[in-house]
Amino acid sequence: MSLFAISRKLTTFLLLLLGAQAAMAQTQPPASDEPELVEFDTAKTRSIAVPALVAPAPVDTPAGNSAALGRQIAEVISSNLRASGVFETQGPNGLRAIGLPEVTAPQFGYWKARPVEQLVQGFVRVGGDGNLTVGCYLYDVGFGTETTRLGFNVPPRDWRRAAHKCADAIYSRLTGELPFFDSRIAYIAESGPKNKRIKRLAIMDSDGANHRFITNGQSTALTPRFSPNYKSILYLSYVDGNPRIYVYDIDTGRQRLITQTNSPTFAPRWSPDGQTILYSMAVSGNTDVYKISASGNGTPVKLTSSPGIDVGGSFSPDGRQIVFESDRSGSQQIYVMNADGSNQRRISFGGGRYATPEWSPRADLIAFTRIAGDFRVGTMRPDGSGERLLTNSWQDEAPTWAPNGRVIQFFRTAKGSGKTGIWQVDLTGSKERQLPTPVDGSDPAWGPVLP
Amino acid sequence: MTKNTIKMAALLLVSTALVAGCGQKKVDSLPPAAEGTDYGQAPTDPNAMGAGQITPGSQEDFLQQVGQYGDRILFETDRFNVDAEDQAILQRQAQWLAQYPGTRITVEGHADERGTRDYNLALGERRANSAKNFLVSIGVDASRIRTVSYGKERPSALGSDEQAWAQNRRAVTVTVR
């Protein structure tokens, strides 16, 4: 069953949209020398209760009993909202069960006494076609009003997507930001000793669930990137003994080289529309950035030509510019150019080396790895101003943006052991957490919100 | 032999004193043994080592003939230049290759863990090409040499310190059957 067939079956319908007097996030005007950051009015939005969703007339489904699903959906909603770093959540554990009439008529007095500011209630019904209908309601406890309600029809196996959609709706409603929970991550699963590391291509939901290994580890896999439509993955493999970029088709399990060449190709990236592949190629030791049509029958276009290492790259969301890395000045620094290779200019001047630039889906910031002693992940504006370092560890590397441009994932390597893990951090650098993965993880690449 | 050990120790000592980006890793304070003119010492004497157990032209033979660590050259951080000491090592490899013209080699380029992944792949390729280019310049047929970069994926020394990193910034010659 493919991800995409699944997504087409997920029909979303807005049942109603009521009272808009909810406590909304407030946007703080940006300081003149810093990137704009949204500060949330935490006193109004911080505390959210998520009791288990009600399952009237519980029945068994291929994904388990609908009553159990109601609790699991609440757990995912609660955990998504908590992991965003914006909210504190209660429940479903530790909260009393609610009845079906209560879903649309909350006992505000009871919740005020908890105390919580926001309340999420809902139900899970199993229809005649076997699909789930998940209803999701957000209430402002202080005002005693309904803020929003949403309904989702999903096959039972996609119950997590319904939970992510509900969490996304609540997050967006309360913060004013775009959603991001209903998205996926490609990364490299690592195991084994430091000098014989097994590296496998793997994919998972944005919260680490629905994990799947794609390659078996016999050949080293590196640096994956989900295509914008999630149908394929670009990655580097040593499958024939040489480092080369392949496009892996998720439905068929087949892969092909992006271009026939005797030279190593690496650092693959998609253009935002998925039509173009950006990559790096070393010819006689000299690495430059190229682009080629994703259709598989185009001619490579060389975008850089300086002696030295021009590598990586990331398109601006409008596809008109590319931020990349070059050591033409003598050390790794960040440059921006037009998508045709013209007007190349350096934007990083903060001291130390700068690497792995990634343009935010919101266009306002570029994330990078800064190497000055330790490796730290940071952001700057596309003109190089407003640099802000978000992490402080021995080796944090390779930032990737959440689809809404408000959270960054990266991987952290431990000194000595070489053990790796995938972490995420918010744009203030104050909320940092490790993602659960079955084994060590590196090279995360966050895809867009699922279609 | 201890040449490379000495070299590494010396590099360790001088590395903190050298200005970053300095292109010359050769300094006067290196011990004379590292000058690279006295390769082919005892371990490579075919009569003394039970040579009958090693197939001439094999990887084992190559390693024995070029001496311990004679299969690799080392680089400074972010550098890829082949210095006089490296040249001596590569000359020894070329001498062996001249004896076995049917043997092909792969030069594996590596970087230490203190670099980002993509950049290290590019850097490893650059180092492998430096070694290849020198071998070609002294007469090894380019068609016999393949290069491959492993970036920081295959460290030789496992520590997270300057001594380990110095050993991992390398281009290693491996014979191919």
For B14-23, the pLDDT digits (tens) are: 443 333 333 3
Closest CA to A407 of A436, A435, A384: A435
Contact of B108 with chain A, judged by CB distance below 8 Å, is answered with no
According to DSSP, residue A54 is labeled B
Contact status, residue A433 vs residue A423, Cβ threshold 8 Å: yes
Contact status, residue B126 vs residue B109, Cβ threshold 8 Å: yes
Residue with tokens 């792969």: B106
Q: Would you tell me the crossing angle of helices B84-99 and B117-137 to the nearest 10 degrees?
A: 60
Question: Residue range A83-104: average pLDDT?
Answer: 93
Which residues from chain B sit within 8 angstroms of residue A332, using beta carbons? 116, 119
In this prediction, residue A23 carries a pLDDT of 31
Contact status, residue A180 vs residue A206, Cβ threshold 8 Å: yes
Q: How close A257 gets to chain B, by Cα (Å)?
A: 17
Which contiguous run of DSSP H or E holds residue A310? strand A310-315
Which of B81, B118, B127 is the best mutation test for A, with the most CBs of A within 10 A?
A: B118
pLDDT band at A296 (very low <50, low <70, confident <90, very high): confident
Which residues from chain B sit within 8 angstroms of residue A330, using beta carbons? 21
Q: Strand, helix or coil at A4?
A: helix
In this prediction, residue A298 carries a pLDDT of 86
Q: DSSP letters of chain B?
A: --HHHHHHHHHHHHHTTSPTT-S----TTS-GGGGS---S-GGG-TTTTTGGGS-TTSHHHHHHHH-TTTTEEE--TT-----HHHHHHHHHHHHHHHH-TT-EEEEEEE--SSS-HHHHHHHHHHHHHHHHHHHHHTT--GGGEEEEEEETSS-SS--SSHHHHHHHSEEEEEEE-
Which residues from chain A sit within 8 angstroms of residue B122, using beta carbons? 266, 280, 282, 287, 309, 311
Q: DSSP letters of A380-431?
A: E-TTS-S-EE---SSBEEEEEE-TTSSEEEEEEE-TTT--EEEEEEETTS--
Closest CA to B116 of B150, B151, B148: B151
Asked whether residue A197 carries a pLDDT value surpassing 50, the answer given is yes
Closest CA to A243 of B164, B171, B130, B124: B124
Distance CA A277, CA A314 (A): 10
pLDDT band at A147 (very low <50, low <70, confident <90, very high): very high
Q: Using DSSP bridges, classify how beta strands A388-389 and A396-401 pair: parallel, antiparallel or unpaired.
A: unpaired
pLDDT band at A46 (very low <50, low <70, confident <90, very high): confident
Question: Residue range A388-411: average pLDDT?
Answer: 97
Q: Give the rounded distance of the alpha carbon of A321 from its chain centre.
A: 22
Cis preceding linkage at B101, omega within 30 = no
Q: Give the rounded distance of the alpha carbon of A262 from its chain centre.
A: 34
pLDDT band at A2 (very low <50, low <70, confident <90, very high): very low
Question: Residue range A379-396: average pLDDT?
Answer: 97
Query: How many residues are listed for chain B in this entry?
Result: 177
Contact of B119 with chain A, judged by CB distance below 8 Å, is answered with yes
Q: Strand, helix or coil at A212?
A: strand
Distance CA A53, CA A51 (A): 6
Residue with tokens 């021009």: A310
Contact status, residue A194 vs residue A417, Cβ threshold 8 Å: yes
Contact of B116 with chain A, judged by CB distance below 8 Å, is answered with yes
In this prediction, residue A362 carries a pLDDT of 96
Q: In the sheet where A345-346 sits, what is the strand order? A: A310-315, A321-326, A333-338, A345-346
| CA closest to B157 among chain A residues | A195
Q: Strand, helix or coil at A151?
A: strand
Contact of B81 with chain A, judged by CB distance below 8 Å, is answered with no
Which residues from chain A sit within 8 angstroms of residue B128, using beta carbons? 285
Which residues from chain A sit within 8 angstroms of residue B104, using beta carbons? none
Q: How close B118 gets to chain A, by Cα (Å)?
A: 6
Q: Do B117 and A242 make contact, defined as CB atoms within 8 angstroms? A: no
Higher-confidence residue of A284 and B18: namely A284
Per cent of chain A over pLDDT 70 is 90
Backbone angles phi and psi of B46, in degrees to 5: -65, -25
Q: Do B122 and A287 make contact, defined as CB atoms within 8 angstroms? A: yes
Q: How close A416 gets to chain B, by Cα (Å)?
A: 5
In this prediction, residue A45 carries a pLDDT of 54
Question: Residue range A244-255: average pLDDT?
Answer: 96
Which contiguous run of DSSP H or E holds residue A292? strand A286-293
Count CB atoms within 10 A of the CB of residue A295: 9
Q: How close A227 gets to chain B, by Cα (Å)?
A: 19
Distance CA A43, CA A50 (A): 18
In this prediction, residue A341 carries a pLDDT of 97
- Two structure tokens written together for A238: 């040593």
In this prediction, residue A248 carries a pLDDT of 97
pLDDT band at B87 (very low <50, low <70, confident <90, very high): very high
Asked whether residue B123 carries a pLDDT value surpassing 90, the answer given is yes
Asked whether residue A309 carries a pLDDT value surpassing 70, the answer given is yes
Distance CA A186, CA A212 (A): 10
Asked whether residue A37 carries a pLDDT value surpassing 80, the answer given is no
Which contiguous run of DSSP H or E holds residue A100? helix A100-104
In this prediction, residue A179 carries a pLDDT of 95
Q: Do B119 and A332 make contact, defined as CB atoms within 8 angstroms? A: yes
Which residues from chain B sit within 8 angstroms of residue A193, using beta carbons? 158
Residue with tokens 């290849």: B132
Question: Residue range A152-169: average pLDDT?
Answer: 96
Question: Residue range A14-20: average pLDDT?
Answer: 27
Contact of B129 with chain A, judged by CB distance below 8 Å, is answered with yes
Distance CA A198, CA A217 (A): 6
Backbone angles phi and psi of A63, in degrees to 5: -100, 10
Asked whether residue A424 carries a pLDDT value surpassing 60, the answer given is yes
Question: Residue range A56-83: average pLDDT?
Answer: 95
Name residues whose C-beta falls within 8 Å of residue B71's C-beta, 6 or more positions apart in sequence: B62, B63, B93, B172, B173, B174
In this prediction, residue A4 carries a pLDDT of 28
In this prediction, residue A115 carries a pLDDT of 87
Q: Do A395 and B80 make contact, defined as CB atoms within 8 angstroms? A: no
Distance CA B144, CA B98 (A): 11
β-pair partners for A282: A287
Q: How close A415 gets to chain B, by Cα (Å)?
A: 6
b/e per residue, A394-407, with b = 16+ CB within 10 A? Answer: ebbbbbbbbbbbbb
Contact of B123 with chain A, judged by CB distance below 8 Å, is answered with yes
Which of A225, A284, A310 is the best mutation test for B, with the most CBs of B within 10 A?
A: A284
> ipTM > 0.90?
no
Closest CA to A77 of A58, A104, A95, A56: A95
β-pair partners for A151: A13, A135
Distance CA A356, CA A377 (A): 10
Out of A228-237, A286-295, A342-351, A424-433, pick the least confident: A424-433
Q: Where on the phi/psi map is residue A166: left (φ > 0), alpha (ψ -120 to 50), or beta?
A: alpha
- Two structure tokens written together for B113: 């863990």
- Two structure tokens written together for A103: 């879903």
Contact status, residue A248 vs residue A296, Cβ threshold 8 Å: no
Q: Do A397 and B116 make contact, defined as CB atoms within 8 angstroms? A: yes
In this prediction, residue B93 carries a pLDDT of 98
Q: How close B66 gets to chain A, by Cα (Å)?
A: 24
